[in-house]
């Protein structure tokens, strides 16, 4: 509990506890990860050198079911970050009502520096190291930052080899051909889109009159950008790790995605077929994008992008957190004072884990659903959770983040207390 990011994560828990009644036993158990694993992964590089990479896997709580959470490949991965993300996953699963607990994993590296063969050897080595820590009924990894369906397929294949049996349910986010689910690759963005649509209708905002800026143009960020563009929203700015582009008239997101895929860079373009023409735009930094005067701001990159240092510069009316933990607790308070509504990550980006649950169910039953079925089920889950959190926020006059934690705590508290509490034993209820 001394690490800074995990301490920040648990601050949100402390705030929500003022508005919900659960046992002290449950509170104490939620403050600590159930199990943490740190491993060293030796990898023979293409040039013959041997490199050792540090890997992590943390299971936070499995009271409501097997733990679930992504694996990220990033230079900043640390035990502190991984246990914080596992904590958030516990609450995310409870918010949308799926029978999983929270977990997370990661390897500290810059994946862009490795060849595909080196990445495969690293991935299989990671599974070798954590195979006894995961399993379809124990802990189920999934994609996260800089991991993808191919990497998940390697993980599943290696785990199956170790167990001497085909085990598709051990990971989610796999290629369709290896037991993956329709809609899993777009699930995080699709869930965020349903949440945004639900809330904008409450504010009587028409898409064509609503401007959007998106920090992060990875899988989730680029997909939510195109979903919003296709729905008529004016997406005026997007960014990747190299910087941001801005056009007040709005960006042509499908053309931008096509250009970026072909050229590994971003410019505002309009494409007809394979011909793309650059159109007028400004180049910004990621920090400048966050302070644009827009209606909706979507942080879809990494943690702690909005802090007390820049919270007073934010001009958006609504923030939807597609990234995990992009706003620090100190910044939360400043944004609340300025009447900027923040829709929290444990609601907005829960589409990924929701469809991961659907994939796990399909793997276990052998019955697979169409894309329409997956998206319909995701919409039901997302809209129901969004409506409930909005109602709790309004009824109790609390922030949307606190309302989301209250909803999750109610479910987690019931599950944890069902195993027995201090009062249960003191009152003699354990006697037969």
Q: Per-residue pLDDT tens for 46-95? A: 999 999 999 999 999 999 999 999 999 999 999 999 998 999 899 999 99
Respond yes or no: is residue 112 known to be catalytic: no
User: Is the confidence at residue 321, as pLDDT, over 60?
Assistant: yes
Question: Which of 11-25, 28-42, 233-247, 388-402 has the lowest average pLDDT?
Answer: 11-25
User: Is the confidence at residue 2, as pLDDT, over 60?
Assistant: no
Q: ∠ at Cα 340 (336, 344), nearest 5°?
A: 80
Mean pLDDT, rounded, of the chain: 91
pLDDT of residue 104: 97
Q: Which tops the pLDDT comparison, 34 or 260?
A: 34
User: Is the confidence at residue 431, as pLDDT, over 60?
Assistant: no
Q: Which of 162, 191, 167 is nearest to 179 (CA)?
A: 167
Mean pLDDT of 132-146: 95
Q: Which of 128, 123, 118, 122 is nearest to 149 (CA)?
A: 123
Give the β-pairing of 234-240 and 318-320: unpaired
pLDDT of residue 256: 87
pLDDT of residue 413: 87
Mean pLDDT of 371-382: 97
pLDDT of residue 241: 81
Both tokens of 161, joined, read 């080899």
In angstroms, what CA-CA distances link 320 with 102, 243, 405, 417? 21, 20, 16, 32
User: Is the confidence at residue 189, as pLDDT, over 50?
Assistant: yes
Q: ∠ at Cα 21 (19, 27), nearest 5°?
A: 100
User: Is the confidence at residue 337, as pLDDT, over 90?
Assistant: yes
The full set of domains in the chain, from first to last, is 15-169 (3.40.50.10860), 187-348 (3.40.50.720)
pLDDT digits over 195-247, tens only? 999 999 999 889 999 999 999 998 899 999 999 999 999 999 999 888 888 99
Mean pLDDT of 113-127: 97
User: Is the confidence at residue 26, as pLDDT, over 90?
Assistant: no
pLDDT of residue 432: 47
Percentage of residues of the chain with pLDDT beyond 90: 73
pLDDT of residue 326: 93
Both tokens of 409, joined, read 């705590």
DSSP string, 88-150: HHHHHHHHHT-S-EEEEEEEES-GGGS-HHHHHHHHHHHHHHHGGG-BTTTEEEEE-TT--HH
pLDDT of residue 269: 78
| pTM: predicted TM-score of the whole model, two decimal places | 0.89
pLDDT digits over 291-303, tens only? 999 999 999 988 8
pLDDT of residue 5: 65
Backbone dihedral angles phi then psi of residue 74, each to the nearest 5 degrees: -160, 145
User: Is the confidence at residue 429, as pLDDT, over 60?
Assistant: no
Taking residue 267's Cβ as centre, other Cβ atoms within 10 Å add up to 16
Give the β-pairing of 269-272 and 275-278: antiparallel
Give the β-pairing of 318-320 and 341-343: parallel
Q: Which tops the pLDDT comparison, 275 or 98?
A: 98
Which of 34, 68, 104, 381 is the catalytic position?
A: 104
User: Is the confidence at residue 422, as pLDDT, over 70?
Assistant: no
Mean pLDDT of 88-116: 95
pLDDT of residue 273: 67
CA 263 to chain centre: 27
Both tokens of 122, joined, read 């690293």
């Amino acid at each position: 509990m001394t690490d800074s990011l995990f301490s920040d994560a648990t601050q949100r828990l402390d705030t929500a506890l003022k508005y919900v009644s659960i046992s002290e036993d449950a509170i104490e158990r939620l403050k600590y990860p159930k199990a943490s694993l740190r491993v060293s992964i030796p990898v023979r590089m293409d040039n013959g050198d041997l490199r050792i990479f540090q890997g992590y896997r943390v299971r936070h709580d499995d009271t409501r079911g097997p733990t679930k959470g992504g694996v990220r490949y990033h230079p900043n991965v640390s035990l502190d970050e991984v246990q914080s993300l596992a904590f958030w996953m516990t609450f995310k699963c409870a918010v949308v009502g799926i029978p999983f607990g929270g977990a997370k994993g990661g390897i500290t590296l810059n994946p862009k520096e490795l060849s595909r063969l080196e990445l495969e050897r690293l991935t299989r080595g990671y599974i070798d190291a954590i195979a006894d820590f995961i399993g379809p009924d124990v802990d189920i990894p999934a994609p996260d930052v800089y991991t993808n369906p191919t990497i998940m397929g390697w993980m599943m294949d290696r785990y199956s080899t170790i167990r001497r049996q085909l085990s598709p349910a051990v990971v989610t986010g796999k290629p369709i051909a290896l037991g993956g689910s329709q809609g899993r690759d777009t699930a995080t963005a699709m869930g965020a889109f349903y949440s945004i649509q639900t809330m904008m209708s409450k504010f009587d905002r028409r898409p064509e009159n609503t401007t959007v800026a998106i920090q992060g143009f990875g899988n989730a960020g680029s997909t939510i950008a195109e979903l919003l563009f296709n729905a008529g929203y004016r997406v005026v700015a997007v960014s990747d790790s190299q910087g941001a582009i801005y056009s007040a008239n709005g960006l042509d997101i499908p053309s931008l995605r096509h250009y970026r895929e072909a050229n590994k860079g971003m410019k505002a373009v309009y494409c007809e077929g394979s011909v793309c023409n650059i159109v007028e735009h400004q180049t910004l930094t990621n920090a400048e994008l966050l302070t644009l005067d827009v209606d909706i701001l979507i942080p879809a990159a990494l943690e702690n992008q909005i802090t007390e240092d820049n919270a007073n510069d934010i001009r958006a009316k609504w923030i939807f957190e597609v990234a995990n933990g992009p706003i620090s607790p100190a910044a939360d308070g400043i944004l609340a004072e300025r009447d900027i509504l923040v829709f929290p990550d444990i609601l907005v980006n829960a589409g990924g884990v929701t469809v991961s649950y659907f994939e796990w169910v399909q793997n276990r039953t052998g019955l697979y659903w169409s894309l329409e079925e997956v998206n319909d089920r995701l919409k039901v889950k997302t809209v129901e959770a969004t409506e409930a959190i909005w109602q709790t926020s309004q009824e109790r006059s609390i922030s949307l983040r606190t309302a989301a934690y209250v909803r999750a705590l109610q479910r987690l508290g019931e599950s944890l207390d069902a195993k027995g509490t201090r009062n249960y034993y003191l009152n003699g209820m354990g006697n037969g």
